[in-house]
Amino acid sequence: MSPHGVMIVDMGAGNVDIAVMSLGGMSVSKTIKTAGNRMDEEIIKYVRRKHGLIIGKAMARSCKEAIGCAADADENKTFRLKGRDSLRGLPRAKEVNAAEMQEAIADITTIIINAIIDVLEDTPPELLGDIQMDGIMLTGGLAQLDGMKERLEKETGITVHIAPDPSDCVVAGCFKATEFIEEAESQRSTLNPLMTVY
Give span(s): CATH 3.90.640.10, the chain. 36-104
Phi, psi of 13 (to 5 degrees): -80, -40
Q: What are phi and psi of 145, to 5 degrees?
A: -65, 125
CATH class of segment(s) 36-104 = alpha beta
| Tens of each residue's pLDDT in the chain, 198 residues | 788 999 999 999 999 999 999 988 899 999 999 999 999 999 999 999 999 999 999 999 999 999 999 999 898 999 999 999 999 999 999 999 999 999 999 999 999 999 999 999 999 999 999 999 999 999 999 999 999 999 999 999 999 999 999 888 888 888 877 777 776 666 655 545 444 443
Question: Which residues partner with 22 through β-bridges?
Answer: 25
Fold that domain 6-35+106-187 belongs to in CATH:
Nucleotidyltransferase; domain 5 (3.30.420)
Instruction: Cite the DSSP H helix spans in 23-105.
Output: 36-51, 57-67, 98-104
What residue ranges of the chain are covered by domains with CATH 3.30.420.40? Answer: 6-35+106-187
Total-model pTM: 0.85
At how many degrees (to 10) do helices 36-51 and 57-67 cross?
100
The letter for the amino acid at 125 is P
Residue 138: strand pairing partners: 9, 162
